[in-house]
Structure 1
Amino acid sequence: MSTNRSIVRRLALTATVGVASLGLLAACGGQERPAGDQEHSTATHGTTSSSAPAATASAQPSAAFNDADVAFAQMMIPHHEQAVEMAELAGTRAADPEVKGLAAKIEAAQAPEIATMTGWLTAWGEATAPGGGHGGHGMPGMMTEEDMAKLQRAEGATFDRLFAELMIAHHKGAIEMAETEQTQGANPEAVQLAKNIEAAQQAEVEQMEKLLERL
């Protein structure tokens, strides 16, 4: 009888542990994808450990991420690339010192952000810009090829005004995407970058609107 009671106790304990394990798995469910997931870590540079030091977090975010984070980076990279391309034109075509200064500021801010977001996508095992490139599909504020050609042909005061007009629309598109990331994203570093982009580009929009009044 003692042996039977011992067996019963062991079976009861096993059943309790099994139920607890199922509860834990259910609690861990959800739509977020861990950065160390095998499915999303095949193209990483080095480790994808969830305990990555803060100093390298911007390049290899350690927290979980979701589809909104991926879409944000995939769309913002070509969006930033076009802004940098526009800003580079100002170095030889702009006449107004404020336009040149603003363009240099945009280039200096957005080029490192491109590198950061590219690093995230690599760490997550995601493509950098599927179906995107400079086509502008699904990216608000992107210039058309005609707009870019027109800006490339402009010089002096004409360039200054056109640059401000096009960059205002471009910035507003980036702000829209940044707002979406803040409400739908899961990765804290991506959400923080979205906040930074919104704040910086909103200030630049206001600056360019005042600049247009002066030009």
Structure 2
Amino acid sequence: MIRKRSLVRRTAAVAAAGAAALVLAACGGDGDDGSSAAGHGGHSTATASASTSQGQHNAADVTFAKGMIPHHRQAIEMADLAPERAQSAKVKKLAADIKKAQDPEIKTLSGWLTSWGEEVPADGAMDHSMHGMDGMMTAEEMTELENASGKAFDTAFMEMMIKHHEGAVEMAKTEQADGAYAPATKMAEEIIASQSAEIEQMNQLLGKD
């Protein structure tokens, strides 16, 4: 009887020890795997998020967007004068192409500034410090263009727009050299290509080439 009780006790002890070992092993496994997965996974995800949010744009990108918006607006203002004043069908087409290309770019540039928490230049508020720089026309030059018509308008429009485009190309080259935001440097590349081609076209129409 005593032997029987001892055997039962031993069996119970072994079973309990075995169960405890299983529980400990299970807990240990969960702890190691769980902490490892949460630790490494969570850390790498946080690091990836941080690296993604950093360095997307820099001061040069902001300067490019804030400068190109009023620059484009003035080009469109000049282009809007062409339908009623220009004599040459080629000049009218050129003006239409300029407006078609630059209007969407203004919207894109404005969207970037908003997403960066930067202020979008007010429509119609021209920064006077830009006049004479980057090819911007003065108020007097704009009045001269508004008062011209026929062949005189065509000549004035192209001469002013060449100067205007050359300023935009220089701004775009600065963005390519100093900017960090890939879509902005891509737009700069497109501006250089398209406006350089239009400069060449206008020089040809003016008989300068």
Give per-residue Cα distances to partners, 1:72-130, cap 9 Å, x unaligned: 00000000000000001001100000000000000000000000000000000001138
How do 1:9-48 residues align onto structure 2 when only pairs under 5 Å count? Answer: none
Larger-Rg structure: 2
Give me the whole-angstrom Cα distance separating, in 1, the residues matched to 2:181 and 2:207: 39
Give the corresponding residue for 1:150: 144
Give the corresponding residue for 1:13: none
Q: Which runs of 4+ in 1 moved over 3 A?
A: 33-37
How do 1:178-193 residues align onto structure 2 when only pairs under 5 Å count? Answer: 178-193=172-187
Task: From 148, 161, 176, give the equivalent of 2:155.
Answer: 161
Q: Which runs of 5+ in 2 are unaligned?
A: 1-42
Give me the whole-angstrom Cα distance separating, in 2, the residues matched to 1:91 and 1:35: 47
TM-superposed deviation, 1:135: 3.0
Instruction: Classify 1:125/1:99 alpha carbon distance in 2 versus 1 (closer, same or farther; 3 Å).
Output: same
Q: Which of 132-141 and 151-160 deviates more?
A: 132-141
Give me the whole-angstrom Cα distance separating, in 2, the residues matched to 1:95 and 1:203: 22
Give the corresponding residue for 1:95: 87
Specify the code of the residue in structure 2 equivalent to 1:96: S
Give the corresponding residue for 1:141: 135
Structure 1 residue 113 corresponds to structure 2 residue 105:
yes
Give the corresponding residue for 2:196: 202
Give me the whole-angstrom Cα distance separating, in 2, the residues matched to 1:165 and 1:35: 45
Give me the whole-angstrom Cα distance separating, in 2, the residues matched to 1:73 and 1:64: 14
SS in 2 for 1:194: helix
Give me the TM-score of the superposition, normalised by structure 1.
0.69
Instruction: Classify 1:35/1:98 alpha carbon distance in 2 versus 1 (closer, same or farther; 3 Å).
Output: farther
Specify the code of the residue in structure 2 equivalent to 1:200: S
Instruction: Classify 1:211/1:191 alpha carbon distance in 2 versus 1 (closer, same or farther; 3 Å).
Output: same
CA-based RMSD: 2.7
Give me the whole-angstrom Cα distance separating, in 1, the residues matched to 2:58 and 2:52: 10
Give per-residue Cα distances to partners, 1:165-206, cap 9 Å, x unaligned: 000000000000000000000000000000000100000000
Q: Which runs of 5+ in 1 are unaligned?
A: 1-20, 26-32, 38-62
Give me the TM-score of the superposition, normalised by structure 2.
0.71
Contact 1:140 1:173 in 2 (8 A): yes
Structure 1 residue 104 corresponds to structure 2 residue 88:
no
SS in 1 for 2:81: helix
Identity within the alignment, %: 51
Give the corresponding residue for 2:60: 68
The structure whose residues are more often helix, as a share, is 2
